Amino acid sequence: MNKLGKKLLCLCMTGVIAFAAPAATAVSSAIPVYAEVSVGNFTDEDFNIFINMIGACESGGLVYGQRDYSTYLSLADSWGAEQTITIGWWSAYGNNGRALLNRIYNADPALFQSIDTDGSIQSMLSQDWEKLRWEPTAAQKDVIVRLITTDTGKKCQDEAFKEFAKIYIEDCQSLYTNDVAACMMYAEIGMLGGEAAAKRIFNRVVSYYSSNFSLDNIMAALSDDQKASTNPYSVSGAVYNTRHRLFYEWIHTYLQPADPQENGVFTDVQNTSAYYYEPVYWAYQNQVTSGTSSTTFSPSNTTTRAEIITWIYRLLGNGEVSASAGFSDVSPSAYYYQAVNWARQHGISAGLGDGSFGSAVNCSRAQIITMLYRCYAAGTGSYTSSFSDVSSNAYYYNAVGWAVQNGITSGTSASTFSPDASCSRAEAVTFLYRAASRF
């Protein structure tokens, strides 16, 4: 079981957040209080925005920024057969409710004891609530609500939630992207439907949207997932569409991520002397390709054949293509479906020769130059190349000679072209930019 699986179990049917029960422990000053929870570029302010969104959905009546810190669910109201109480605005379940009260006690023992005057709640802080199936009396419930609605109680609820959310944020950053907006959506999906659901949705973005984790692509992946499952109670189902849409709108409203077109820079494309600086912004502004997030372009990332043919299609294609290219790895629902059909119809690419297009295969330098040659100059004459690694009988020989003659590339050194090397995003947009500016 991986990191998330070991630490938590989320309940998708109710939105109540549940955890694997920790062993019973005594009150300990080692329990973190008001811990620092920033993760990479996901700042404490980002966590506050996220709290305001989750809070609105869990207990705040779908109003951004509202949450009910006094939330209490008894055994009868709690989720599932284990029947343990939940407390706090994000429903700390069972022994995690006990951990929340432990946190409040450690933050301010005097405050705790001034409210829990008979010590009955404090005496339960070392017990296993889930094993005991503890049901507080009406008087004890009142004490719990008073404790969690103090300023200290509210702050402890927020900080405990941040530490829980941090697990999802770290998971998204390590597996998919560090884009803040995308991380928020990943955590929201995970808290509603569990780790498997979050990964399922984001894997769709990887497969069908070329790992471009924009909010639009994540929402499209949710829609695709619903069509695949037709289960209205799944994380992508109709029951939760309102919640997802609210998150989409709130992120746009309150996060206000940097807009590369508006600000003139991607955070990783700021060196104006870089060979790919102008091509990157040309590609962005002409909607040939966007960044890998709202603020990054990832110039050194490799490109797939599906990505490259899509970029060329956006630059040169015109309208839909009715006939299917018939490739085994090109689904009608794939974002590159029209682009591949267009490329096959116009003789730009015939695939890999085994019935597949090679959609997920890294595009080589030789392949992209050949595709551009077929777009702009196929049949216009013979071209020569002096690169030591470009054989005269190679399928790309003419294409490389054409590209060098027209200033589209000068190779990777004075004597090599590196035809089999994977083409980076920076190289790809530069080749497209130079070809488009010359023809």
Kindly state whether residue 172 falls inside one of the protein's structural domains: no
pLDDT of 78 strictly over 80: no
Kindly state whether residue 142 falls inside one of the protein's structural domains: yes
Dist CA 417 CA 384 (whole Å)? 13
pLDDT of 34 strictly over 80: no
Using only the alpha carbons of the chain, give its radius of gyration.
Answer: 28
pLDDT at 79: 58
- Single-letter amino acid code for the residue at 162: K
Dist CA 148 CA 269 (whole Å)? 47
Kindly state whether residue 169 falls inside one of the protein's structural domains: no
Kindly state whether residue 67 falls inside one of the protein's structural domains: yes
pLDDT at 220: 85
- Single-letter amino acid code for the residue at 190: G
Residues 140, 193 share a domain: no
Residues 304, 237 share a domain: no
Residues 425, 386 share a domain: yes
Which has more confidence, 110 or 229? 110
Q: Side-chain half-sphere of 246: how many Cα atoms within 13 Å?
A: 20
Kindly state whether residue 163 falls inside one of the protein's structural domains: no
- Total domain count for the chain? 3
Cβ-contact 251, 243 below 8 angstroms: no
Q: Which of 172-181, 219-228, 413-422 has the lowest mean pLDDT?
A: 219-228
Kindly state whether residue 166 falls inside one of the protein's structural domains: no
pLDDT at 425: 94
pLDDT of 4 strictly over 80: no
395: which 2 tokens? 């399928």
Average pLDDT over residues 67-71: 87
Dist CA 43 CA 183 (whole Å)? 12
**Residue where a domain stops, chosen among 158, 186, 216:** 158
pLDDT at 303: 93
Confidence of residue 179 (pLDDT cuts 50, 70, 90): confident
Q: Read out DSSP for 370-436?
A: HHHHHHHTTTS-------TTS-TTSTTHHHHHHHHHTTS---SSSS---TTSBPBHHHHHHHHHHHH
Cβ-contact 400, 386 below 8 angstroms: no
pLDDT of 418 strictly over 90: yes
Dist CA 251 CA 352 (whole Å)? 42
Q: What are the strands, taking DSSP E only, across 245-334?
A: none
Dist CA 433 CA 427 (whole Å)? 10
Residues 186, 92 share a domain: no
Q: Side-chain half-sphere of 249: how many Cα atoms within 13 Å?
A: 9
**Residue where a domain stops, chosen among 111, 130, 158:** 158
235 is in which domain, residue-wise?
177-256
Confidence of residue 319 (pLDDT cuts 50, 70, 90): low
pLDDT at 371: 94
pLDDT at 373: 94
Q: How wide is the angle at C-alpha 314 spanned by C-alphas 328 and 363, nearest 5°?
A: 50
Kindly state whether residue 168 falls inside one of the protein's structural domains: no
Residues 250, 302 share a domain: no
At 338-363, the pLDDT tens digits run: 888 888 888 898 888 888 888 889 99
Confidence of residue 379 (pLDDT cuts 50, 70, 90): low
Q: Which of 48-57, 76-85, 257-266 has the lowest mean pLDDT?
A: 257-266
pLDDT of 97 strictly over 70: yes
- Single-letter amino acid code for the residue at 393: N
pLDDT of 327 strictly over 50: yes
How many angstroms separate the first and last alpha carbons of the chain?
Answer: 55
Confidence of residue 158 (pLDDT cuts 50, 70, 90): confident
3-state SS class at 210: coil
pLDDT of 155 strictly over 80: yes
**Residue 381 Cα distances to 70, 168, 386, 402, angstroms:** 78, 56, 17, 9
Residues 153, 88 share a domain: yes
154: which 2 tokens? 């509210």
Residues 138, 22 share a domain: yes
DSSP assignment letter at 86: E
Residues 62, 195 share a domain: no
207: which 2 tokens? 């497969």
**Residue where a domain stops, chosen among 125, 158, 191:** 158
Bridge partner list, 9: 18
Q: Specify the pTM.
A: 0.53
